[in-house]
Amino acid sequence: MKAVIPAAGLGTRFLPATKAQPKEMLPVFNKPTIQYVVEEAVNSGIDDIIIITGKGKRPIEDHFDKSFELEYNLKQKGKLDYLKEVQGISNLADIFYVRQKKQNGLGDAISCAKKHIGDEPFAVLLGDTITYSDTPCTKQLIDVYEKYGGSTIAIEELPERKIERYGIVDGVTVEDNIYKVKNLVEKPKLEDAPSNLGITGRYILTPDIFDKLESIEAGVGGEIQLTDAINEQENVYATTFEGTIYDIGNTMEWLKSSIDMALTQEDEVKEEVLDYLRQKVQEYQ
Ligand code: G1P
């Protein structure tokens, strides 16, 4: 299976940090956001990845490229741990890039991958969303896809204040944590939301999605919405993701993700972060 990582969005919610750098390159603890996303795909068994980029997204390509000069310098200085890490990044996966020429929504961005994907099911991982779990989120989706066969969406239970920012699922339970989708509503008003189950930014899509994307009209925000195209598909399932999700485009979630990732590091780092947090709690109490 191949993966598509849309990374063409403007990052408006994170200005001014994203004025001259892609939001997907914002570091979460010690790695750029999109590296976590690529690693999730790789850890789910996918090594053929297409990233949909746009204006100002060149640093993403540079990050996954080989850097001869940097490698030479690190070798000369005997910084072999860094050398190994830097080489690992450029060997993670086969990554291809396509530029979305006009900001026309997530659905339009996915259409840009049509030629590369062909007639196979594929994974979609939003480039500004990272997940943390024992079994990678995309692998959890692949397992459900292999059982039920239709497009499969990862969902999470949302607090009310978040509902208007997400695609929301109307579904029927088929087994624990798995729903057959009746309808998806993109960014509804709270009172119109069919449930509190929100689309988290991880999908397995069957290839008929490309025809659906061509046939739909612009939706919410005047953009081609992936959610609307999935609504046109016959057999769609949703499954509750077991793990934690961070939408990095949101400053508060970005901050939490950095703290959480620091807490997954070796004991020394973890203790220093916890000490600092305890000290802050005392100061502000
Ligand atoms: C997109 C999708 C939405 C989904 C969200 C998850 O919206 O259209 O259905 O819930 O990602 O982050 P966006 O955040 O691009 O506006």
Q: What percent of the chain has pLDDT over 90?
A: 94
Question: What pLDDT does 19 receive?
Answer: 92
Distance 165 CA to ligand 1 centre (A): 7
pLDDT, tens digit, 9 for 90 and up, residues 177-235 = 999 999 999 999 999 999 999 999 999 999 999 999 999 999 998 999 999 999 999 99
Cβ of 186 below 6 Å from ligand 1: yes
Cβ of 219 below 6 Å from ligand 1: no
Cβ of 247 below 6 Å from ligand 1: yes
Question: What pLDDT does 11 receive?
Answer: 85
CA distance 18 to 137: 26
Residues 54/59/64/65 CA torsion (nearest 10 deg) = 110
Cβ of 257 below 6 Å from ligand 1: no
CA distances from 180 to 64, 121, 143, 146, 243 (A): 37, 18, 15, 15, 21
Domain spans of the chain? Answer: 2-250
In this model, does residue 103 exceed pLDDT 90? Answer: no
Average pLDDT, the chain: 96
Q: Which atom of ligand 1 is nearest to the CA of 184?
A: 9
Give the number of other Cβ atoms within 10 Å of residue 176's Cβ. 7
pLDDT, tens digit, 9 for 90 and up, residues 43-89 = 999 999 999 999 999 999 999 999 999 999 999 999 999 999 999 99
Nearest to 125 by CA among 21, 248, 259, 253: 248
Work out the average pLDDT over 268-279. 97
Give the number of other Cβ atoms within 10 Å of residue 13's Cβ. 16
Work out the average pLDDT over 251-255. 94
Distance 198 CA to ligand 1 centre (A): 9
CA distance 270 to 256: 14
Cβ of 32 below 6 Å from ligand 1: no
In this model, does residue 10 exceed pLDDT 90? Answer: no
In this model, does residue 248 exceed pLDDT 90? Answer: yes
Q: Are 253 and 166 in contact (CB under 8 A)?
A: no
Work out the average pLDDT over 93-108. 94
Distance 63 CA to ligand 1 centre (A): 25
201: left (phi over 0), alpha (psi -120 to 50) or beta: left
**Interstrand relation of 129-132 and 151-157 (parallel, antiparallel or unpaired):** unpaired
Work out the average pLDDT over 251-270. 95
Amino acid at 243: G
Q: Which atom of ligand 1 is nearest to the CA of 186?
A: 9
Helix, strand and coil content of the chain, in percent to the nearest 5, comes to 40, 25, 30
Question: What pLDDT does 231 receive?
Answer: 97
Distance 237 CA to ligand 1 centre (A): 17
Work out the average pLDDT over 18-39. 96
Work out the average pLDDT over 233-243. 96
Cβ of 106 below 6 Å from ligand 1: yes
Q: Whose CA is nearest to atom 9 of ligand 1?
A: 167
Provide the total of helices (H) and of strands (E) in the chain, helices listed first. Answer: 11, 13
Burial class (CB in 10 A: 0-12, 13-18, 19+), 178: middle
Work out the average pLDDT over 149-172. 96
Distance 167 CA to ligand 1 centre (A): 6
Question: What pLDDT does 69 receive?
Answer: 96
In this model, does residue 171 exceed pLDDT 90? Answer: yes
Burial class (CB in 10 A: 0-12, 13-18, 19+), 244: middle
Cβ of 121 below 6 Å from ligand 1: no
At residue 124 the predicted structure's pLDDT band, cuts being 50, 70 and 90, is very high
Give the number of other Cβ atoms within 10 Å of residue 142's Cβ. 20
Cβ of 167 below 6 Å from ligand 1: yes
**What predicted TM-score, i.e. pTM, was given to this entire model?**
0.95
- Indicate the top mutation candidate among 110, 165, 202, 225 to test ligand 1's pocket, ranked by most ligand atoms within 8 A of CB: 165
The CATH architecture that domain 2-250 belongs to is Alpha-Beta Complex (3.90)
CA distance 42 to 139: 10
- Indicate the top mutation candidate among 12, 37, 104, 126 to test ligand 1's pocket, ranked by most ligand atoms within 8 A of CB: 126
